[in-house]
Amino acid sequence: MTRAELIVAVADKAKVDRKTAEKTVAATFETIRQALIEGDKVQVLGFGTFENRARAARKGRNPRTGEEIEIKSSKLPSFKAGKSLKEACNP
């Protein structure tokens, strides 16, 4: 499902026009994005949890030259599905 298809589905389920659904979807994604940037965890009961996970620094290799390089530590956004979502996907 693309973002455009999601907007249409939200508009149909909520019985609102597509412009309102588009604003709602955009606001939801932006709110989750901003919370993750600030280091917060977003937990939606019955759906799942969005959070940042730390990735440690490590050594890697440049595939072109074979030279060993240092890869910096970083934070990656992740999603963990909630129990009810897992159960709904695996009846």
| The predicted structure's pLDDT at residue 71 | 94
| The predicted structure's pLDDT at residue 91 | 82
* Domain spans of the chain, in order of start: 1-40, 43-91
pLDDT at 14 over 90: yes
The pTM of the full predicted model, rounded to 2 decimals, is 0.79
Domain 43-91: give its CATH architecture: Irregular (4.10)
How far is it, in rounded angstroms, from Cα 56 to Cα 70? Answer: 11
By the 10 Å C-beta count (0-12 exposed, 13-18 middle, 19+ buried), 69 is classed as exposed
Quote the percentage of the chain above a pLDDT of 70: 100
How far is it, in rounded angstroms, from Cα 34 to Cα 26? Answer: 12
| The predicted structure's pLDDT at residue 55 | 94
Report the mean per-residue pLDDT for the chain.
Answer: 95
Q: Are 46 and 85 in contact (CB under 8 A)?
A: yes
pLDDT digits (tens, 9 = 90+) for 57-77: 999 999 999 999 999 999 999
Q: Where are the beta strands (DSSP E) in the chain?
A: 42-44, 48-55, 58-61, 68-71, 74-81
| The predicted structure's pLDDT at residue 76 | 94
